[in-house]
Chains A and B, each alone.
Chain A
Amino acid sequence: EIVLTQSPGTLSLSPGERATLSCRASQSVINRYLAWYQQKPGQGPRLLIYGASSRATGIPDRFSGSGSGKDFTLTINRLEPEDSAVYYCQHYRSSPRYTFGQGTKLEIK
């Protein structure tokens, strides 16, 4: 089973700055089957990135993903207050478990 470790646990930034969120896998992620989700309070998660770097439908280009192997990054440029959320990475198309990281809380203040 691949274990995903996200860092930092909490990130506090100002509007207009850039956020860099990390997701490290315990084993290499085959074919870059790595996704990123955004979750705001009281809502279900929203798919942002799949295949490590492809943006999902309707996701602004301020959001970008990169990485391969064990190390992946979600970058959010020109932060806006509505980007405040918890961000999760996920390894999909894996067996037997479809694991999520523990999340990074992004605060915009």
Chain B
Amino acid sequence: KAGVTQTPRYLIKTRGQQVTLSCSPISGHRSVSWYQQTPGQGLQFLFEYFSETQRNKGNFPGRFSGRQFSNSRSEMNVSTLELGDSALYLCASSRGTMNTEAFFGQGTRLTVV
């Protein structure tokens, strides 16, 4: 059974640019969540999608956005990149119903220079 796939694994961008990260969940999972991990702030919730609908969004500026497609694959976009956006971005996949375990992808390491 294939796990959660995130692409790309590593990314270097310049301040002011935008970036799109992709996440393919485990087959049959309809929920995709995104988290940002930094040494200073730890793991912070970005947003969660279920069946193409955003059910919740964390406390991040509007530069952070996401979407989910009908095949449950998800993308997140960060516009006008800032140095502080450098982080490991993790995608988690689950069935999306109560008491379900979340499985994480390998993450995308974004470095903004």
Q: Are the chains A and B members of one assembly?
A: no
